Structure 1
Amino acid sequence: MDITIDTSCSGISQLALGVTHVDDSLVYPSGNNDLAAIENVKSMLKNGMSFQNTHIMSWGLPDPWPNPVDPDPTDWSALDSRLKLSVDAGNTPVISLDEAPWWMKGRPIAGGKTEVLTESQEWDSIAYGTRILDNKMGDWLHLVQRVAERYMVPPYNVRYFQVWNELKGYYNPGADKYDFTVSPGNPNAISARHGYTYMYNQVYNTLIKVAQSKGIPPESVKIGGPYVFMDVWTAKDQSNPSIVTKPYGTFDQRSLDVVRYWLQHKAGAGFITVDSSIENREERETGALVADPFVAAAKFADIVRWVRSLDPNLYPGSTTLPVWLSEWFAYPRNQIVDANFDNALKACTMIEFLKVGGAVALAWGGSGDGSTDLGLWTDTYVGGGQPQPWYFSAKALKDDFAPGVKLYNTTVSAPAKVEALASDQHIMLVNKTATKITVKVQQKEVELTPYQVKVIDYAH
């Protein structure tokens, strides 16, 4: 099998990998966490990651403003500690402005009514399907302001913000689509009718005002949305099919509509952020992919291609704003757990994302899901905090294919079996098969074991 490298520059890498903290696994003392394991993970964050993202509450963090009687948030301690992880590691910190205190939230239900979240429901699953109430938008923006005032300045110096999370709470069951417009809803009523882009624009303007008040150049503050999950269906007779059809399935029109509308009506943005999974909508129950996983792994690159195909005159920023993956899931849940397979699939996913100009990709948690997604490292219990094979590949992408590195085109004689990524000094090879393969690179034979990811130096 031959791999040919075209040494004329094909592009520049923009890829930077990071992780979103989704639990208290790096808190000590807490539960069964082990200090030595935590220190191991902190070292891996420093050496292998570029970004760390945290929500302002939930996902291992308490509510900073649980009592509506208080005029301001009352407890920053946990969020301070979470962001200090990024500062100590020398990573770039990101804050996701999502979730919110229980008393600010509700959700639309049948009949045009609104169900208001109660204090007892704050940590129930229902809370993750709620949005800010129309008449509580001012309180939400006050919280956003206080977050920005605290964390835009030293020692945190946060400049990157994601707005909300997967449009949670913005799905309207009556309309069978997202509420994503610039409508303010009914600001004088206890209702959940405003559109996502309205909320995004209010948050954007609030963040920019805080930056200006702190003497921070507004252009240095990067704010991203719409953070929508890009649904794909296996069935061709789905209710909302788009014309974007790939070997692994058809994209849902509703997700595409969110991105296009947001691009047209946003007050401003520093990046576009979305998320998805190699599993299609129908496949989430079983994890049984119709397509080969390595074929489905192209989904994230295809999202970038679709965004870049939009007319920038109609959709400002579609061809210029960096494209982020706020979450990305590359593992089939019915797959026998195999660390090398997991590594190969994730490496191929990121190589394809990198090749089309993808920017930041944030892993949802560092230790996977504890079953078929092995993540970057093992749990932080006694004896844990150990790197998985994917960590070493992620670190190689950081070390050898960082933003600014020139990329070369590669041609693989059997692309279904091997993936290749080349710069002027290194080539990353991924064996997509369960058998040993020998490839020839620049007249040199390289042996790859089953599902091996290997980086080699080469002279050109």
Structure 2
Amino acid sequence: MSREKQYNRRQVSGVALAALSSFLLLFTSDEQMAFSSLAPTPDMPPDTTLHIATTSQHTSAFTLGMSDVDTNLIYPQSSEQASQIKHLLAQSSSFTNIHIMGWGADDPWPDPAQPEPTNWSTLDKKLQIALDTGTTPVITLCEAPWWMKGRLNADGSTTRLTKNDDFADITYDARVLDNHMSDWLHLVQRIAERYMAPPYNVRYFQVWNELKGYYNPITNNWDGGKSQGDPTGDNARHGYTYMYNQVYTTLKQVAQGQGIDPPQVKVGGPYVVMDSWASTNAPDRSNVKDQYGALDRRSLNVVATWLAEKLGGDFLTIDGGNVNKDQTNLTDPFTATEKFADVVQWIRSLDPHTYPGATTLPIWWAEWYAIPFATENNPDYNNALKTYTLLQFINSGVSVALAWGYDDLWYANPATPGPWYGSANAIKEHFPAGTPLYKTSSTSQDVVALASKSSVLLINKSLLPHVVDVEGKHVPLRSFQVVVVNR
């Protein structure tokens, strides 16, 4: 079966919403904020009817999590602020993801003269956030100390990192050197031994981040396979799946050595960005396409290669957003988020004999970005768009989505919940994993819904207010409002 399958499963043009995005471009941020509060008048009759199926359609597998990507919680402005933020996280998130280095965490092994990694302070503090919030900890095994890494250049040479490069831009273009793989695996082993044990009890690990350093400028492609490269010298040529397989084996061995049943430790890859293109002339376009554009064939190949060549995997983790790689938008931001569901559908379409796990592995979005193209300063629009994206995850069968950072959950000190917090909290409280869901249809394309036996979440995707008839209840929605009503 071909890795690339064309989808044209929607016939809706999206013209109305595209026009809305253009309309919003006419206004300044202050005017956008004013328009975001447009609400129905008290005498406005229902203009939209929501229909809910009488039997459940499918069961949600979805859980929302957050990635801790800075030092705001380990070095807070005040203990009061930290306490309030942790309370908000506990109410809205179920996973806390931490990278072992970078994004607020120090290098755990900065000195190659030292036989062991010992610099655990910031990583301990970040893992403590998960304990304090009662969320499930996830460790992302990325980045790596400078002395282990190098960048592959277009002329075939490799540039080794220096001590000053530990957190410089070049580190994100570098992979572990082929001849330092044993050092990397030793660091992975020590991290696993420390954090699988109490009190942290980590059981989820993502391997690397966005294939950083695995881009091959010689081939204009990702080195995603299981080649070991050239370990006879300081080369950066091994494939991602080669590294992943050794990390996978190391993590399972540590689990067994600590008396943990290895299947309880979940390891995921390949954490590749699922890029897309608007231009029909883009040479890396695939045939997986819809109104927003076409997915990048190289990203699809990484997923397929990992599925085919991995030694084992417990979940499949990917990354992406609703903005095309060439920064051109063919449709409105809401329609563009339907890319997330298309990626999942493509993965599920792969032949499981050739690509083991394609139809069964839980799918995680390690990072996801729903960008409001024209209204960045409108929190209600931002919330509606993000919540609509969660519906794409839920309806396509995604298991976990990790939001990048916490900032949209609240306003500045003192931490005050924002609109996105309300939606994240509603999903966790009213639609947790295991909830049977009922198919909905709306007489207005502006209003979409998610329904369980006891609750209905409504999203107004429009600048205009609406009044929705939900099983006889009249529910007013101001522009871009998200609400939950009881059935």
Distance 1:27 1:148 in 2: 21
380, 385, 388: which is aligned to 2:418? 388
Alignment-mate amino acid for residue 432 of structure 1:
K
Distance 2:285 2:396 in 1: 24
Q: Tell me, yes or no, if structure 1 residue 69 matches structure 2 residue 109.
A: no
Aligned to 1:243: 287
Q: Tell me, yes or no, if structure 1 residue 337 matches structure 2 residue 337.
A: no
Give, in angstroms, the shift of residue 34 of structure 1.
2.9
Contact 2:102 / 2:143 at 8 angstroms: preserved in 1? yes
Distance 1:114 1:40 in 2: 47
Aligned to 2:49: 2
SS in 2 for 1:281: coil
Aligned to 1:377: 410
Alignment-mate amino acid for residue 322 of structure 1:
P
SS in 2 for 1:332: coil
63, 70, 82: which is aligned to 1:23? 70
Aligned to 1:350: 390
SS in 1 for 2:65: strand
Contact 1:185 / 1:192 at 8 angstroms: preserved in 2? yes
1:12-161 → structure 2 map (5 Å cutoff): 12-28=59-75, 33-161=77-205
245, 258, 264: which is aligned to 1:220? 264
CA deviations over 1:316-340 (Å, ceiling 9, x no partner):
1111111100000111354241111
388, 396, 403: which is aligned to 2:433? 403
Of 306-315 and 157-166, deviating more is: 306-315
Give, in angstroms, the shift of residue 121 of structure 1.
1.4
CA deviations over 1:267-299 (Å, ceiling 9, x no partner):
11110010101111111xxxx633101101111
SS in 2 for 1:239: coil
Number of positions where the alignment pairs a residue of Structure 1 with one of Structure 2: 440
Distance 2:187 2:467 in 1: 57
Question: Which consecutive residues of structure 1, in runs of 5 or more, have no partner in the other structure?
Answer: 368-374
Alignment-mate amino acid for residue 439 of structure 1:
V
CA deviations over 1:406-459 (Å, ceiling 9, x no partner):
111111222x3011100111010000001111111113221111000010010x
1:257-268 → structure 2 map (5 Å cutoff): 257-268=301-312
Aligned to 2:481: 452
Distance 2:63 2:329 in 1: 28
342, 345, 352: which is aligned to 1:302? 342
User: What TM-score, normalized to structure 1?
Assistant: 0.94
232, 237, 240: which is aligned to 1:193? 237
Q: Tell me, yes or no, if structure 1 residue 360 matches structure 2 residue 400.
A: yes
Contact 1:279 / 1:332 at 8 angstroms: preserved in 2? no
CA deviations over 1:155-175 (Å, ceiling 9, x no partner):
000000000000000000010
Contact 1:134 / 1:185 at 8 angstroms: preserved in 2? yes
Contact 1:7 / 1:424 at 8 angstroms: preserved in 2? no
Distance 2:250 2:173 in 1: 24
Alignment-mate amino acid for residue 10 of structure 1:
Q
SS in 2 for 1:61: coil
Contact 2:467 / 2:475 at 8 angstroms: preserved in 1? yes
Contact 1:420 / 1:429 at 8 angstroms: preserved in 2? yes
Contact 1:37 / 1:386 at 8 angstroms: preserved in 2? no
Aligned to 1:372: none
315, 327, 341: which is aligned to 1:271? 315
350, 368, 380: which is aligned to 1:328? 368
CA deviations over 1:70-126 (Å, ceiling 9, x no partner):
111011111111001101211100000011000000111022111111111111111
Aligned to 1:370: none
CA deviations over 1:13-64 (Å, ceiling 9, x no partner):
11111111111011236xxx23322211110111111000000011111111
Alignment-mate amino acid for residue 100 of structure 1:
A
Q: Tell me, yes or no, if structure 1 residue 202 matches structure 2 residue 253.
A: no
Distance 1:72 1:352 in 2: 44
C-alpha change, 1:336 and 1:204, in structure 2 (3 Å) is: closer
User: Percent identity at matched positions?
Assistant: 50
Distance 2:336 2:264 in 1: 35
Q: Tell me, yes or no, if structure 1 residue 165 matches structure 2 residue 205.
A: no
CA deviations over 1:200-220 (Å, ceiling 9, x no partner):
000000000000001101111
Of 20-29 and 261-270, deviating more is: 20-29
Aligned to 2:358: 318
Contact 1:2 / 1:440 at 8 angstroms: preserved in 2? yes
